[in-house]
C-alpha cells in the first residue's frame, strides 16, 4: 500500500474542506460555519493516523460524505456535522456524551442511530435479514440517519476498488437490495441511479464497461439528434414567453442493462437511451398550468403515445416527486421520453423531497407524504413475529413500487402500491374494516376481495361483524399492513387450537411413559417435518396428525443433525442446524476441489467463464450461483456469512465436459432459416442440442435453443455466428431452470 506525501495530503485535505464550505455556503450562517469547523477538527483529531484500505487518510471519507450531503442532497448544518462525525463513536475513543456536550442532543441522537446501523451494516459484511429491523427502527425515528447513511454508502461504492472481490460482491448486492430502493423512496434519484450503476460495475464488470463505452461512442450522435429534436420546440416556447431550460440526458447504465435483459435485445436496439427534460421558471400558482401548456405545444410538433402519459403534477408521488412525463415519436421515427416540470419540481426531483424540504434547517412544517410513509414503516415494525425474509420483502414493497390513486365514496384520496387489491384498501382505511371485510364495490360494481385496483377507482368496502380472516386472504393482499394484520388474526385463532393440541400431547406423553421435555418435543417436530413446536401443537389440535401417525412418531429416536461439508486441505466448513458457519475455506476452485461437495444452482445454471460464488445450504452442500443470478443477489445481501469465493479451474477439461445454456433468437421468418441455425450449432460448432422450439407469426419468428456448451467464450462465438445469418435480428443468452 503506497502512502502519499504528507504535504500533498495536507494540501488536498484543505482543498476538500474548502469544497465542503463552498457546497453549503447558501444554507449556513456564520455561527454554523464555526460548528462545522469544530466538527471537522474533532473528526480530524479522532481519526488521526487512521487510513482506509486504499491507503488514503481516513478523514477524507467523512469529509466526502459531508460534501455529498451538502452538495448532492442539499442538507443543512446538523446533517453536515453528523456526516463529519458519523464514524467517531464506533471507531475512536469519542463517546456520545462527548458529542452531546459539544453539539447538542439532536446531533448525538443522529450519531447514535448511525452507529447502530454500522453495527448491522458493517464496512465489509453483508446485511442479514434478521438484523434489518434494527435499521428500520433508527430510520423511523429520524430520516436524516438513513440519508447520511446513503451518502456514506455512495462514497464507499465510489471507492470500492480497493476491496477484495468477495467484499465487492457482498457490498454491491446489499446496495442493490436495500440502499438503492431507499434512495428511490426518498426521492434521491441521482443517488439511486449512481448506486445501481456502481452495483452493476462490480457484479457485471464486462457488461458495465460495454454499455458505458457504447454510450460514450454514441454521445455525439445523441447530442446531434437532441439538438434537432428540441429546435422547433425551443423556438415556439420562447415565442410564447416561457423562461425555460432544456436538457437531454442519457438513461442510467443500469436501466439500459435491465431493458436489454428484459427484452432480450442488444444495446443497439434500445431506442429510448435518453430523456429530454424541459424545465420552466414559473410561479408556484401557475406552474401546473404552464406544464400542460408546454405539453400542448410539444404535441403540436410531435405525436405522443397516449399509453405513456404520466401525470405526477396532479398526483405527486408520495416521496414528493412532481413531473409530467410523455413519450413522443421523434423526427427520425424514434420514441423519445420528455419530462416537463417547473424549477421547484426539478429541485425536488434532483435532491429529494425529504432531504431538501423537510430537513433543511429552518423548515418547521413536516411534509405529510413523508410522515405517511414513516407511519407505514412503523406499522410494518409492529409485527415482531414476522419472518425476517418476508419482512424484508414487505418493506421493499413500500420502497420501490409505483402507486395508484383511489377514492372513497365520499371522495377522499388514498395512494396505494401498484397491484394493491380491494382487501388491501380495506385495511388501509382501518384494521377493523379489513378484518370484517365481506366484499367491495369498485365504481359501484361488486368485485371480489382480490380485485386489483387502478388509478381513479372509487372503492366502497362492505363489512360484516361475523366475518373472520382466512388463510386464503394472504393470497389477496400485497401491503405489509394487510399481511401483518391478517397473520396476527390467524395466529390468535391458531394459538387457541394449539393450546388444545398441547393438552392432547401431554396426555399422550403421560400414557406412553415418555418424558415431556424440549428434546422429546424437538424429535417429534423433526419427525413430522414441522417448523416449530407451536406448529406441532396446532396440527395435533386441528387433527391434521392422525392417532396412528402419532403412535408411530413416539418410536422415533434420532438426535438433531449437524451438516458438515468436507473440503481439501486443513479447512473444514461446518454448518449447524441454526445455520451458523463455524469455519470456511477462503476459495473454492470449481473443477479442482474434487473432495468438496458442491453442485450448480438450477435457478441460473452457471457455465465456465461466468462470474460465480458459492452458497452454503442447510441440506445440499454448496450451491454454485452466477453473481448476476436474481436469487444470488438476495443470498449475498441477506446471508453474507454463508457466501464463499469461487472461481473456475484453469484446467476445466473443456474438451470433454459440457454445461447446459439457453439462447433466444428473434428474426424475420424465411425459408431454411432454422436449418441454417441448426447447421451452425451441430455441424460447425459440433454442439449437442437438448431442445429447440420455434414459433412464427406474421413473418417474424422467435426461437429458443437449449444446448450443451463448454464455456462462455464458446457460447459467445456461437451467438456471433448465428447473429451473422441474414434475417436474424437478435441472439441473446437466457437463464434456464433445470
Cα–Cα distance measured from residue 299 to residue 329, given in angstroms and rounded to the nearest whole number: 10
List the catalytic residue out of 90, 367, 379, 735.
90
Dist CA 181 CA 192 (whole Å) = 7
pLDDT for residue 656: 60
CA nearest 276: which of 243, 250, 315?
A: 250
> What pLDDT digit, counting tens, does each position of 696-730 carry?
777 778 888 888 888 888 888 888 888 888 888 88
Cell of 142: 429520524
Pairwise pLDDT comparison (572 vs 497), residue with the higher score: 497
Largest CA distance in the chain: 96
User: Domains in the chain, please, with CATH?
Assistant: 6-188 (1.10.3210.10), 217-351 (3.30.460.10), 488-553 (no CATH), 563-648 (no CATH), 659-734 (3.30.70.260)
Q: How confident is the model at residue 507 (pLDDT cuts 50, 70, 90)?
A: confident
From 9, 38, 91, 735, the catalytic residue: 91
Distance in Å from the first CA to the final CA of the chain:
45
Written as nine digits, the cell of 139 is 430510520
465 Cα distance to chain centroid: 40
Instruction: Give the 3-state secondary structure of 516-571.
Output: CCHHHHHHHHHHCCCCCHHHHHHHHHCCCCCHHHHHHHCCCCCCCCCEEECCCCCC
Average pLDDT over residues 519-525: 79
Please give the average per-residue pLDDT across 27-44, as a whole number. Answer: 86
Burial category of 698 from C-beta neighbours within 10 Å (exposed 0-12, middle 13-18, buried 19 and up): exposed
174 with 126: CB under 8 angstroms? yes
Grid cell, residue 584, equals: 470456511
Q: Output the pLDDT for position 66.
A: 93
pLDDT over threshold 90, residue 692: no
User: Whats the size of the chain, residue-wise?
Assistant: 738
At 324 the pLDDT is: 94
Q: Give the model's pLDDT for residue 126.
A: 41
pLDDT at 154: 94
Per DSSP, 284 falls in state: T
- Check if the beta carbon of residue 677 is closer than 8 Å to that of residue 667: no
- Is pLDDT of 578 > 50? no
pLDDT at 4: 62
DSSP class of residue 421 equals B
pLDDT-above-90 percentage for the chain: 16
452 is catalytic: no
- Is residue 91 part of the annotated active site? The answer reads yes
Contact between residue 281 and residue 243 where contact means Cβ atoms under 8 Å apart: yes
Instruction: Please report the pLDDT score of residue 139 as a whole number.
Output: 57
Amino acid at each position: 500500500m503506497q502512502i502519499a506525501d504528507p504535504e500533498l495530503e495536507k494540501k488536498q485535505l484543505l482543498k476538500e474542506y474548502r469544497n465542503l464550505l463552498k457546497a453549503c455556503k447558501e444554507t449556513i450562517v456564520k455561527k454554523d460555519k464555526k460548528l462545522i469547523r469544530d466538527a471537522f477538527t474533532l473528526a480530524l483529531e479522532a481519526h488521526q493516523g487512521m487510513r482506509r484500505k486504499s491507503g488514503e487518510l481516513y478523514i477524507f471519507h467523512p469529509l466526502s460524505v459531508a460534501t455529498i450531503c451538502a452538495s448532492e442532497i442539499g442538507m443543512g448544518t446538523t446533517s453536515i456535522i453528523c456526516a463529519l462525525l458519523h464514524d467517531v463513536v464506533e471507531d475512536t475513543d469519542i463517546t456520545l456524551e462527548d458529542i452531546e456536550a459539544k453539539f447538542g442532543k439532536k446531533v448525538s441522537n443522529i450519531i447514535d442511530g448511525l452507529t447502530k446501523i454500522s453495527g448491522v451494516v458493517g464496512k465489509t459484511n453483508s446485511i442479514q435479514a434478521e438484523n434489518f429491523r434494527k435499521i428500520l427502527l433508527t430510520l423511523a425515528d429520524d430520516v436524516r440517519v438513513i440519508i447520511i447513511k446513503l451518502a456514506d454508502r455512495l462514497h464507499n461504492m465510489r471507492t470500492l476498488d480497493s476491496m477484495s472481490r468477495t467484499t465487492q460482491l457482498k457490498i454491491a448486492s446489499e446496495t442493490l437490495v436495500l440502499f438503492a430502493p431507499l434512495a428511490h423512496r426518498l426521492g434521491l434519484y441521482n443517488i439511486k441511479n449512481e448506486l445501481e450503476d456502481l452495483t452493476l460495475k462490480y457484479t457485471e464488470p464486462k457488461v458495465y464497461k460495454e454499455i458505458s463505452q457504447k454510450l460514450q461512442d454514441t454521445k455525439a450522435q445523441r447530442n446531434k439528434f437532441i439538438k434537432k429534436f428540441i429546435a422547433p420546440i425551443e423556438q415556439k416556447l420562447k415565442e410564447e414567453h416561457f423562461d425555460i431550460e432544456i436538457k437531454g440526458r442519457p438513461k442510467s447504465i443500469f436501466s439500459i442493462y435491465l431493458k436489454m435483459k428484459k427484452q432480450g435485445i442488444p444495446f443497439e436496439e434500445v431506442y429510448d437511451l435518453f430523456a429530454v427534460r424541459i424545465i420552466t421558471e414559473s410561479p408556484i400558482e401557475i406552474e401546473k398550468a404552464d406544464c400542460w401548456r408546454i405539453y400542448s405545444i410539444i404535441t403540436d410538433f410531435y405525436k405522443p403515445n397516449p399509453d405513456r402519459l404520466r401525470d405526477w403534477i396532479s398526483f405527486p408521488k408520495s416521496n414528493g416527486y412532481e413531473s409530467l412525463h410523455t413519450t413522443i415519436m421523434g423526427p427520425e421515427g424514434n420514441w423519445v421520453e420528455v419530462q416537463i416540470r417547473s424549477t421547484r419540481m426539478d429541485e425536488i426531483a434532483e435532491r429529494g423531497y425529504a432531504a431538501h424540504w423537510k430537513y433543511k434547517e429552518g423548515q418547521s412544517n413536516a411534509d405529510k407524504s413523508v410522515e405517511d410513509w414513516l407511519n407505514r414503516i412503523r406499522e410494518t415494525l409492529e409485527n415482531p413475529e414476522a419472518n425476517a425474509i418476508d419482512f424484508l420483502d414487505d418493506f421493499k414493497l413500500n420502497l420501490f413500487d409505483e402507486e395508484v390513486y383511489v377514492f372513497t365514496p365520499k371522495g377522499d384520496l388514498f395512494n396505494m402500491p401498484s397491484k394493491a387489491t380491494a382487501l388491501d384498501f380495506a385495511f388501509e382505511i382501518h384494521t377493523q374494516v379489513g378484518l370484517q371485510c365481506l366484499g367491495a364495490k369498485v365504481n359501484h360494481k361488486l368485485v371480489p376481495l382480490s380485485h386489483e385496483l387502478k388509478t381513479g377507482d372509487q372503492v366502497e368496502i362492505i363489512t360484516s361483524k361475523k366475518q373472520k380472516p382466512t388463510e386464503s386472504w394472504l393470497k389477496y393482499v400485497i401491503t405489509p399492513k394487510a399481511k401483518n394484520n391478517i397473520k396476527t388474526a390467524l395466529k390468535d385463532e391458531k394459538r387457541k387450537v394449539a393450546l388444545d393440541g398441547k393438552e392432547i400431547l401431554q396426555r399422550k406423553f403421560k400414557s406412553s411413559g415418555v418424558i415431556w421435555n424440549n428434546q422429546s418435543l424437538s424429535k417429534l417436530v423433526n419427525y413430522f417435518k414441522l417448523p416449530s413446536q407451536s406448529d406441532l401443537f396446532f396440527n395435533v389440535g386441528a387433527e391434521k396428525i392422525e392417532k396412528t401417525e402419532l403412535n408411530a412418531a413416539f418410536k422415533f429416536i434420532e438426535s438433531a443433525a449437524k451438516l458438515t461439508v468436507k473440503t481439501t486441505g486443513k479447512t473444514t466448513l461446518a454448518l449447524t442446524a441454526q445455520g451458523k458457519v463455524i469455519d470456511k475455506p477462503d476459495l473454492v476452485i470449481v473443477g479442482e476441489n474434487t473432495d468438496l461437495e458442491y453442485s450448480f444452482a438450477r435457478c441460473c445454471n452457471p457455465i465456465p467463464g461466468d462470474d460465480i460464488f458459492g452458497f452454503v445450504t442447510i441440506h445440499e452442500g454448496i450451491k454454485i450461483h452466477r453473481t448476476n443470478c436474481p436469487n444470488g443477489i438476495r443470498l449475498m445481501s441477506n446471508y453474507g456469512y454463508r457466501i464463499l469465493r469461487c472461481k473456475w479451474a484453469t484446467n476445466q477439461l473443456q474438451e470433454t465436459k459440457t454445461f447446459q445454456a439457453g439462447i433466444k433468437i428473434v428474426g424475420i421468418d424465411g425459408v431454411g432459416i432454422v436449418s441454417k441455425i441448426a447447421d451452425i450449432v451441430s455441424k460447425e460448432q459440433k454442439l449437442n442440442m437438448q431442445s429447440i422450439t420455434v414459433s412464427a407469426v406474421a413473418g417474424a419468428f422467435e426461437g429458443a435453443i437449449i444446448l450443451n456448451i463448454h464455456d462462455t467464450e464458446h457460447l459467445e462465438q456461437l451467438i456471433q455466428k448465428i447473429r451473422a445469418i441474414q434475417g436474424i435480428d437478435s441472439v441473446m443468452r437466457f437463464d434456464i431452470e433445470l
